[in-house]
């Protein structure tokens, strides 16, 4: 994103330079793989979608729902029963 914002080419040389400036010793093969994976990506579009996705999901997570909350008590009872069996091994 830094290189995109600075309108620089995203290539192995510039990515390695950024990492070196940050004090990170980067593995050349990982840098090469990163650059290759970004070759056909529209960075501006990808960032716009990444910002919009959490905003779209937020009302569903924070809003009230007509559906009842999932019951987790049964799972807790089953887990506790397993620990009781283990405790009997040690007296």
CATH of domain 1-50: 1.10.10.1410
Res. 56: pLDDT tops 80: no
Share of the chain above pLDDT 70, in %: 57
Query: CA–CA distance from 90 to each of 19, 71, 86, 87 (Å)?
Result: 53, 32, 8, 6
What residues does each domain of the chain span? Answer: 1-50
pLDDT in tens, 6-35: 888 899 999 999 999 999 998 999 999 999
User: What per-residue confidence (pLDDT) applies to 60?
Assistant: 56
User: What per-residue confidence (pLDDT) applies to 77?
Assistant: 55
User: What per-residue confidence (pLDDT) applies to 68?
Assistant: 58
What does the alpha-carbon distance between residue 68 and residue 76 come to, in Å, rounded to a whole number?
19
User: What per-residue confidence (pLDDT) applies to 48?
Assistant: 85
pTM (predicted TM-score) = 0.51
User: What per-residue confidence (pLDDT) applies to 85?
Assistant: 52
């Amino acid at each position: 994103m830094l290189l995109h914002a600075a309108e620089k080419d995203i290539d192995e040389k510039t990515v390695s330079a950024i990492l070196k400036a940050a004090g990170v010793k980067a593995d050349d093969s990982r840098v090469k793989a990163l650059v290759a994976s970004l070759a056909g990506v529209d960075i501006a579009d990808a960032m716009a979608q990444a910002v919009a996705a959490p905003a779209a999901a937020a009302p569903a997570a924070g809003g009230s729902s007509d559906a009842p909350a999932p019951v987790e008590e049964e799972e807790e009872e089953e887990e506790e029963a397993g620990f009781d069996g283990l405790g009997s091994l040690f007296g």
